Amino acid sequence: MKSLIFKEILAFFGSLTGYLVLGLFLVALGLIVWVFPETSVVDYGYADLESLFLYTPYVFTFLIPAISMRSLAEERRSGTWELLQTSPLSLVQIVLAKYLALLLLVVLALLPTLGYAYSISLLGNPPGNLDWAGFFGSWLGLLMIGATFAAVGLFASSLTSQQVAAFVLGVFLCFVLYFGLTALAGMVPGDLAYWVEELSLSYRYASLSRGVVDSRDLFFLLGMIWIFLGATVLILKKK
């Protein structure tokens, strides 16, 4: 599995597209945190990173499908999927290796945001005045959302051999799971709205983004990851 994980990461960084995707992600976050008037920490006047945790899922909706779209779609389009199936790895191990590679890329994309926290802490009064426990709790929530989107993107990539179609489908699924269910909850009556809202990723992320680490939210997100990885395996078995 290790060799397949490293192969996926090297393949991502083996083209200009990989650097371009991560570069655009970091530029977008930098503009949100430091430049845009409505979200800039400098204009906000408080030493916190609320804007980072509020708007990063929006960027994730496009970033992670862009990272994951080639994982399985390109293997099938280029005809290397059959070769991969002859390896000693089982189908479950192949899917897991692909997913872990995506998860590592998500972590690499998020690591530079730790530098934002250090910069903000220096701007505090007094310097170092930052709720580090709240920050790392929120950062964990962001990582879990990224991990869930990675599983969704891998599932979308298993449905087609076209990267563009996998990207569009991945963006659609991430959008529905994060934003769509919340919007739907506002249109249905009574107790049903509560249950629909509970299924929304944004509902689960809301408390995590405030630094409140609730085991129920973590187990829900882990369950979503398991469901989409399991669905990916089933799709590949049928095909």
Cβ atoms of residues 126 and 84 within 8 Å? no
Per-residue model confidence (pLDDT) at position 8: 84
Angle at 215 between CA 211 and CA 216, to 5 degrees: 110
pLDDT (tens digit per residue) in 168-201: 999 999 999 988 877 777 777 767 777 777 788 8
**Whether the predicted pLDDT of 214 surpasses 90:** no
CA distances from 215 to 3, 150, 208 (A): 33, 21, 10
Cβ atoms of residues 142 and 56 within 8 Å? yes
Nearest alpha-carbon partner for 56 in 84, 28, 78, 83: 28
Per-residue model confidence (pLDDT) at position 129: 65
pLDDT (tens digit per residue) in 108-133: 988 888 887 777 777 666 666 666 77
Per-residue model confidence (pLDDT) at position 238: 83
Q: What's the number of domains the chain is made of?
A: 1
pLDDT (tens digit per residue) in 3-18: 888 888 888 888 787 8
Pair of tokens at residue 3: 């060799």
Per-residue model confidence (pLDDT) at position 127: 65
Rounded mean pLDDT of the chain?
83
Pair of tokens at residue 185: 């909850």
Q: Which domain holds residue 213?
A: 2-238
DSSP string, 167-185: HHHHHHHHHIIIIIHHHHH
Per-residue model confidence (pLDDT) at position 126: 66
Residue with tokens 């994982």: 71
pTM over 0.85, yes/no: yes
Greatest distance between any 2 Cα atoms in the chain: 60
